[in-house]
């Protein structure tokens, strides 16, 4: 009986933390966007444990200050195809890019500051390839080089999104005069079902507008191409951008 009491004393506070954390996540999302928050959290859902990870084509834009060793050390980033441009190659800082192979070299001067144009050029390039650059992968993800992603995100994507036409991201973007009425996800980590590529390549993709982010451009692209989709926000704790903080450990990425 004493052992049972101890288990209950431990289990009840943990359950309360899960319930309160879930409530705080939903409460922190504007009411008109709460439908994007997944009802099921895979971290507390044993049904995802044996799910085969999703096959994902990752793409990461690199700059002159991108560190090649960091890309190799990061479990998810080291799977990504890197893409850079001619201006990036001219901005090498301390030769960090010298050891970094550009899997996709875009002959342009878009530079890091105009990531929207750089991302559009990436899609233009992928659309010239027979397999649209995704091969037999199920999903396509754009990820920043200062982002940490939990490898289990691939199991979550597989369990929650496999078989669906989805547009997903790590945090929600908000409509502006530039993006309305299209939905979009913040830039560090967003993606969609790889089957979209055939449809995207068949439609007229939008041009970048002044002050338009590349993540905004991606949302507008999906909207203007009239692809039927389900929007889905990743649960908290799978993707960290520029900062990772847990008890006893805090990491800041001071890049600029």
Sheet strands side by side (includes 189-193): 104-106, 81-85, 56-61, 139-143, 189-193, 166-169, 230-233
Q: Residue 29 pLDDT more than 70?
A: no
Of 63-67, 125-129, 238-242, give the range with the top mean pLDDT.
Answer: 125-129
Please tell me the least confidently modeled range out of 44-58, 140-154, 176-190, 191-205.
44-58
How far apart are alpha carbons 175 and 181 in whole angstroms? Answer: 7
Contact between 64 and 92 under an 8 Å Cβ cutoff? The reply is: yes
CB neighbours of residue 236 within 10 Å: 17
Residue 250 is encoded by which pair of tokens? 């805090």
**Count of alpha carbons within 13 Å of 10, Cβ hemisphere only?**
5
Q: Which of 56, 200, 225 is nearest to 135 (CA)?
A: 56
Q: Residue 162 pLDDT more than 80?
A: yes
Residue 29 and residue 132 in one domain: no
Q: What is the dihedral of CA 198, 226, 160, 232, to 10 degrees?
A: 130
Please tell me the least confidently modeled range out of 110-119, 148-157, 236-245.
110-119
Q: What is the pLDDT of residue 3?
A: 47
Of 9-18, 36-45, 134-143, give the range with the top mean pLDDT.
Answer: 134-143
Residue 11 and residue 116 in one domain: no
Please tell me the least confidently modeled range out of 119-128, 192-201, 244-253.
244-253
Percent over 70 (pLDDT), the chain: 74
Residue 24 and residue 122 in one domain: no
Q: What is the pLDDT of residue 45?
A: 53
Residue 198 and residue 238 in one domain: yes
Longest alpha-carbon distance in the chain: 72
Residue 206 and residue 219 in one domain: yes
Quick one: how far is CA 126 from the chain centroid? 18
Question: What is the chain's alpha carbon radius of gyration, rounded to the nearest angstrom?
Answer: 20
Residue 169 and residue 181 in one domain: yes
Residue 118 and residue 150 in one domain: yes
DSSP 238: S
Give the pLDDT band (50/70/90) at residue 98: low
Residue 103 and residue 171 in one domain: yes
Q: What is the pLDDT of residue 199?
A: 94
Give the global pTM.
0.77
Residue 136 and residue 15 in one domain: no
Domains of the chain: total: 2
Please tell me the least confidently modeled range out of 16-20, 42-46, 131-135, 239-243.
16-20
Q: What is the pLDDT of residue 142?
A: 95
Q: Residue 48 pLDDT more than 70?
A: no
Residue 15 and residue 64 in one domain: no
Q: Domain with 179 in it: what CATH number? A: 3.90.550.50
Residue 21 and residue 94 in one domain: no
- Output b/e per residue, 237-246; b: 16+ Cβ within 10 A: bbbbbeeeee
Residue 95 and residue 4 in one domain: no
Range of the domain at 29: 1-34
């Amino acid at each position: 009986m004493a052992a049972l009491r101890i288990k209950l004393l431990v289990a009840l506070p943990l359950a309360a933390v899960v319930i309160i954390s879930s409530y705080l996540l939903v409460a922190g999302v504007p009411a008109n966007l709460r439908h994007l928050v997944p009802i099921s959290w895979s971290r507390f859902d044993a049904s995802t444990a044996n799910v085969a990870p999703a096959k994902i084509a990752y793409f990461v834009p690199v700059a002159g200050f991108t560190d090649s060793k960091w890309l190799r050390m990061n479990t998810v980033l080291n799977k990504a195809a890197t893409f850079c441009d001619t201006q990036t190659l001219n901005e090498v800082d301390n030769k960090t890019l010298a050891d970094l192979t550009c899997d996709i070299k875009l002959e342009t001067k878009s530079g890091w500051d105009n990531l929207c144009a750089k991302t559009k050029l990436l899609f233009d390039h992928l659309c010239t390839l027979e397999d649209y650059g995704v091969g037999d992968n199920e999903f396509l993800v754009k990820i920043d080089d200062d982002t940490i992603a939990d490898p289990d995100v691939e199991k979550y994507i597989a369990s929650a999104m496999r078989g669906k036409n989805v547009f997903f991201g790590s945090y929600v973007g908000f409509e502006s005069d530039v993006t309305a009425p299209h939905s979009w996800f913040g830039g560090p980590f967003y993606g969609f079902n790889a089957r979209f590529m055939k449809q995207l390549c068949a439609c007229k993709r939008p041009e970048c507008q002044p002050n338009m982010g590349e993540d905004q451009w991606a949302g507008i692209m999906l909207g203007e191409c009239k692809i039927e989709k389900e929007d889905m926000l990743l649960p908290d704790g799978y993707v960290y951008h520029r900062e990772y903080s847990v008890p006893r450990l805090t990491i800041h990425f001071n890049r600029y």
